[in-house]
Amino acid sequence: MTIDFISDLHLSPAEPASTDAFLGYLVHQAREADALWILGDLFEYWAGDDDVDGPFNTAIADALQAFVTAGVPTKLIVGNRDFLLGEAFTHRTGVEIVAEPVNIVLGEQQCLLLHGDVLCTDDHAYQQFRSMVRNPAWQARFLAQPLAVRHEIAEDLRAKSEMSKQGKALEIMDVNADAVAQAFRDSSASLMIHGHTHRPARHALNIDGTTCIRHVLPDWHGHACGLRWDGKKLQSFGSP
């Protein structure tokens, strides 16, 4: 059983290299897998499922639909950029959206999958922002606006985010050790895979006397990369 895990592609018309890498990955390397997990931030941002057939998104949706139809089941956990992906996207592409955290079995081990932003509990401003935009009433009000307006708001939020990150210490934008330990305890998993922080690594941790491994996925920046489970072990692919 071969399973690929990818995240943080941040696909957008402004980054054609990542789009090309993703389209190429879906017709070549990913076809060797028996399943694909996308752990959030597939898109730079997602303004709502009614944008799935917009000029840029059509190519991505078509490629995903062809990939799933070719026989590779694909599941997705939403990220902080594309949390508005929903049922219509699933209907269009065949990609199943699953609520985080997800427990899967890899070999003999339980493995916890998540985007990773919930672990960044020291970033109080972000967690407050997250609670606001994950509120269904807030989302309904946002989605009731015309698509062009939503694009403007999303672009504005991206700019605000970039600005606000400049004023934050790097440590607060990483995961909090206690939040990681608690996630391991709550799930009984000994493996964890997440993205979001853009700090690809393999961290070995002692949680209550058990060695637990936290894998952090890389972001794409124009080339396909992630982790592959080959039936026995997890290995990075595509990282420079």
Select from 19, 57, 74, 80 the one that contacts Mn ion (CB under 5 A): 80
Yes or no: say if 94 and 64 are a contact pair by the CB < 8 Å rule: yes
Max Cα–Cα distance, the chain, nearest Å? 53
Binding site for ligand LP5 (CB under 6 A): 45, 47, 80-81, 84, 117, 120, 123, 125-126, 129, 133, 138-139, 142, 153-154, 157-158, 160-162, 164-165, 168, 173
Number of residues assigned to the chain? 240
Residue 183 tokens read as 């996630």
Site residues (CB under 5 A) for Mn ion, limited to 144-203? 196
Q: Tokens 């049922």 map to which residue?
A: 87
Select from 41, 44, 49, 122 the one that contacts Mn ion (CB under 5 A): 41
Q: Which does 226 bind (CB under 5 to 8 A by kind): ligand LP5, Mn ion, none?
A: none
How many Cβ atoms from other residues are within 10 Å of residue 144's Cβ? 10
Candidate segments 22-30, 63-71, 74-82, 100-108, binder of Mn ion by CB under 5 A? 74-82
CA distances from 110 to 105, 158, 176, 217, 232 (A): 5, 35, 21, 18, 13
**Closest to ligand LP5 by CB, 110 or 127:** 127
Q: Which does 37 bind (CB under 5 to 8 A by kind): ligand LP5, Mn ion, none?
A: none
